[in-house]
Amino acid sequence: MKSFQPEDMTSFSAVDIDGSMAYKLVSGLVVPRPVAWISSQNEAGLVNVAPFSSFNYVAHSPAMLAVNIALQDDGTLKDTARNIRETGEFVVNITPTSALDAMNQSSAEYPSDVSEAQVLDIPLMPSTQVRPPRVAVSPAQMECRLTQIVPLGTGINTLYIAEIVAFHVANMVYDGRHIDSVALDPVARLGGPFYASLGEIHKRSRPKAV
């Protein structure tokens, strides 16, 4: 293992950088990040599909996850956040590498009255416990109900915490006991315009204290 010295490092004090620079640093360093390809719908039934990479699971009993959704540049809510607040429901779809382009395109800023699923021909399938549909090209989907909204920092970011009320996993990725991560082939987010797939996998058994 190589040790770095202070002269090898570039350092930043948080008080000396703006939000844009902080975003570039944290999103470039906290990698790879799982992507929540979220399907939601408004009270009128219009379906929205958009990806968010500030996302992870936060509990397992009950199973819960959280996603951070920032405000638009003009200070308004993004469609996904508005839909979640209105209905309290959404679906997190895991994006396979084969759907990377569709997922990336769905991150564009479409008008609120436009469904990304329709304009991008993203196939949908009904959910079982919530109203928003699932993305049919996803090999794993988690139906969610909102439990808590947590404003973060200056209010630009908000954490949406939800309980997973139903899991759906394709037979090709689930053997009845375990998820096959290689078969799942999930897309991961890196910094800037970059994404990644799993690549080389390293296995280590849980160690005992020495």
Tell me the domain boundaries of the chain. Answer: 34-193
- The pLDDT assigned to 29 comes to 85
Sequence-separated (6 or more) residues with CB below 8 Å from residue 193: none
- The pLDDT assigned to 31 comes to 86
- The pLDDT assigned to 19 comes to 86
Of the candidates 175, 181, 189, 92, which has an alpha carbon nearest to the alpha carbon of residue 132? 92
Q: What is the pLDDT of residues 128-153, one digit of tens each?
A: 999 999 999 999 999 999 999 999 99
Global pTM value: 0.93
Q: What is the pLDDT of residues 175-202, one digit of tens each?
A: 999 999 999 999 999 999 999 999 999 9
Of the candidates 176, 106, 91, which has an alpha carbon nearest to the alpha carbon of residue 136? 91
Q: Is the bond into 151 cis (omega within 30 degrees of 0)?
A: no
Instruction: Classify domain 34-193 at the CATH topology level.
Output: Pnp Oxidase; Chain A (2.30.110)
